[in-house]
Each structure stands twice: as C-alpha cells, then as structure tokens.
C-alpha cells in the first residue's frame, strides 16, 4: 500500500511539473554616465553605471485554455546620485490570468496609463534618461522593478485593432483615497492612437486627475510618437497644467538607429527634457548605446547628462 501511495504521489508531482513552465529572461547593461553637478557631495560627475535585470516567469494552462502566470524581477543597479552599487533584490509579484482577448493582472501591476501605447516613446541613452513624458506630474499606478509596488488590479480586453484597459489600487502612496486609470487604443494601418484618463481620490483635499492622448506610427526607416494632455495635481497650481512631448527614431542603416526625445509642460514646476541618442546593433542581442541631453526643472538652471555603454539581452 505504501509503495502504491509513493508512486501515486510521484506521478502527481511529475504531472504538475510537466504542465507548468518556468522561464528566465532579461538584460544587462554597463558603461559610464555623466550628470552635471551631481547633488551628492564628493561624488564625481562621471560614474560607472550598470543594471542587471532578470525576469522569472512561471505559467500553467488549464484544459479549457485559460493561462495562469506570475512574474518576479531580480534587479541590481547603481545609485544614480552617488554612483555606488545597489544590492540586488526581488520586487513584488505580479499574477496574471489570460483567456482569449482578456488579460487580468493582480499585485505589483502596471496600470492603464503605464501600459498606454506610445506613452514612453523613444528614450535616448543607455539609461533612457530622456523622455517625452517629463512634463507629467500625475502619479499613476506603475510597475515597480525594485520594490513591492502597489497591490492593484489591471484588466485589458483586445479585439482586432481595438483595446480597452482599466486599473485600480486602494490608498496609493499611503493616502486615504482610491486611484483608477482607464485607456482605449485603436490601431489603423501603421498608426496607433490612444486616450487615457486617471483620477486619484485625495480624501478631503482636491483630487488629482489627468487626461492624456498618445499617437505613434512608423514609416519605413522613421518612427515617431506624440504625447499631449492636461492634469490637475490637488491644489498645486505650479504642477496643474498642459504637458506635451515628442520622440522619434531613424534607422541610419540596418545596424544603427538615431533617437530623439523632447518633453515639457506649461506649469512653472514642470521638467523640460531634450536629448539625442544612438544605438548600434552588434548582433546576438548586443548593442552599443549612448545619449546626450539636458534636463531643466522649472526656473532652475539646466543640467547636462550623457552616457555610453553596452547592453545585451538574454
């Protein structure tokens, strides 16, 4: 009887392993980064920059075709201010259920604005330090690579060229209200247009909200994105404004791509970003990357940034 029990247990365990799938993937990058007048005393303007990112994904599928999956991320990089290395750590887990055109994520999720098509556009530099979204001050629900993240829910349904998505999390950033984001996207030919709305309940204080439109398309060797929107950040008049940005990429050759990004806003406290970058593909998932640009917050002086290094995927 014991032999039969042991054999049955082993069979069940083996069947569970066979039905599941675990995969690993990510990238590494390293090089040098320059920031004009770094804020930490005694730190050189030029430091070694690096990142190691490993995604650990597990998945299983029911007989009816419903896919269940989960992800955690292991990441190690440098402290951007001091240039010293940070210890590697796991982030909060994200769980997903998918069937047909419907996907639902729970846990450390990216929300509907974080997942908005063409929101991030082209980000020049090894560290992607310039973005068209720099004028945005609204704190939307975002995926956390190095922390627990918000314990939220995100749902997306796609049919043909049309998709809708919504996300929700309770009391973000220790607040006393709720936050939700929604978006709709449609692809026609080589262009994708998307519209999003987000709102955060700040309790007795004035609520935060945002409306954002994104466009993106490609035409041969050229691709570009556009971002524009309006936001209200509680009673912060300096951050409540219209924001806008553009980005582009151009394939100079089959191996070399030039990138550009610009972002700003009409608020007195908004950050203006502008920069150029280059990516040179060495094959095998390895590329050389670099960029140069300027970041300017409000009426403060602009701060130059530049970086260069190698990135490889695995």
Per-residue confidence (pLDDT) for residue 303, from 0 to 100: 92
The alpha carbon torsion through 134, 135, 140, 141 (nearest 10 deg) reads 0
Per-residue confidence (pLDDT) for residue 19, from 0 to 100: 55
Per-residue confidence (pLDDT) for residue 307, from 0 to 100: 97
Kindly give the confidence (pLDDT) of every residue in the chain, 314 residues in length, as a single tens digit, with 9 standing for 90 and above: 334 333 433 434 444 444 579 999 999 999 999 999 876 666 788 999 999 999 999 999 999 999 999 999 999 998 877 778 888 899 999 999 999 999 999 999 999 999 999 999 999 999 999 999 999 999 999 999 988 998 999 999 999 999 999 999 987 766 667 999 999 999 999 999 999 999 998 876 788 999 999 999 999 999 999 999 999 988 777 777 899 999 999 999 999 999 999 999 998 889 999 999 999 999 999 999 999 999 999 888 899 999 999 999 99
Residue 285 CB neighbours (<10 A)? 11
Q: Which residue has the tokens 């990429």?
A: 249
Q: How far does CA 27 lie from the centroid of its chain?
A: 15
- Strand (E) or helix (H) holding 12: helix 2-19
Per-residue confidence (pLDDT) for residue 79, from 0 to 100: 82
Per-residue confidence (pLDDT) for residue 173, from 0 to 100: 62
pTM: 0.88
Residue 41, classified by CB atoms within 10 Å of its CB into exposed (0-12), middle (13-18) or buried (19+), is exposed
Q: How would you label 2-13 residue by residue, b for 16+ Cβ within 10 Å and e otherwise?
A: eeeeeeeeeeee
Per-residue confidence (pLDDT) for residue 280, from 0 to 100: 98
Q: What is the CA radius of gyration of the chain?
A: 22
Question: In this structure, are residues 250 and 264 in contact, taking their beta carbons and an 8 Å threshold?
Answer: no
Per-residue confidence (pLDDT) for residue 40, from 0 to 100: 62
Per-residue confidence (pLDDT) for residue 239, from 0 to 100: 74
Per-residue confidence (pLDDT) for residue 85, from 0 to 100: 81
> CA–CA separation, 314 vs 299, rounded Å?
42
Question: In this structure, are residues 246 and 274 in contact, taking their beta carbons and an 8 Å threshold?
Answer: no
Question: The domain 20-313 belongs to what CATH superfamily?
Answer: Porin (2.40.160.10)
Is 62 in a helix, a strand, or coil? coil
Question: Going by DSSP bridges, is the β-strand pair 20-35/46-61 parallel, antiparallel, or unpaired?
Answer: antiparallel
> CA–CA separation, 40 vs 313, rounded Å?
32
Q: How would you label 110-146 residue by residue, b for 16+ Cβ within 10 Å and e otherwise?
A: bbbbbbbbbbbbbbbbbbbbbbbbbbbbbbbbbbebb
The residue ranges of every structural domain in the chain are 20-313
> CA–CA separation, 24 vs 169, rounded Å?
28
> CA–CA separation, 25 vs 82, rounded Å?
28
The first and second tokens of residue 278, run together, are 């280059």
DSSP 256-307: EEEEEEEEEESSTTPEEEEEEEEEEEEETTEEEEEEEEEEEETTSPPEEEEE
Per-residue confidence (pLDDT) for residue 73, from 0 to 100: 97
């Amino acid at each position: 009887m014991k032999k039969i029990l042991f054999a049955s247990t082993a069979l069940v365990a083996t069947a569970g392993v066979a039905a599941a799938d675990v995969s690993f993937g990510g990238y590494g990058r390293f090089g040098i980064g320059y920031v004009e007048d770094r804020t930490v005393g005694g730190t050189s303007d030029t430091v070694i920059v690096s990142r190691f990112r490993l995604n650990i994904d597990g998945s299983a599928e029911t007989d009816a075709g419903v896919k269940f999956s989960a992800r955690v991320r292991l990441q190690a990089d440098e402290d951007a201010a001091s240039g010293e290395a940070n210890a590697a750590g796991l982030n909060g887990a994200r769980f997903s259920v998918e069937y047909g055109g419907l996907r639902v994520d729970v846990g450390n999720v990216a929300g509907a604005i974080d997942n908005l098509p063409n929101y991030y556009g082209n980000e020049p530099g090894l560290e992607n330090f310039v973005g068209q979204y720099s004028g945005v001050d609204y704190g939307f629900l975002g995926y956390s690579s190095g922390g627990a993240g918000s314990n939220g829910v995100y749902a997306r349904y796609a049919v043909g060229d049309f998709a809708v998505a919504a996300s929700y999390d309770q009391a973000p950033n220790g607040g006393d209200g709720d936050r939700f984001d929604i978006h709709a996207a449609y692809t026609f030919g080589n262009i994708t247009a998307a519209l999003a709305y987000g709102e955060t309940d700040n309790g007795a204080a004035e609520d935060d909200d945002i409306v954002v439109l994104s466009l993106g398309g490609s035409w041969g060797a050229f691709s570009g994105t556009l971002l524009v929107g309006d936001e209200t950040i509680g009673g912060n008049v300096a951050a409540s404004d219209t924001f806008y940005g553009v980005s582009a990429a151009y394939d100079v050759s089959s191996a070399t791509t030039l990138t550009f990004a610009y972002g700003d806003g009409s608020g007195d406290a908004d950050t203006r970003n502008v920069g150029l970058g280059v990516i040179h593909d060495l094959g095998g998932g390895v590329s050389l990357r670099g960029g140069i640009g300027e970041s300017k917050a409000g009426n403060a002086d602009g701060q130059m940034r530049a970086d260069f290094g190698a990135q490889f995927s695995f």
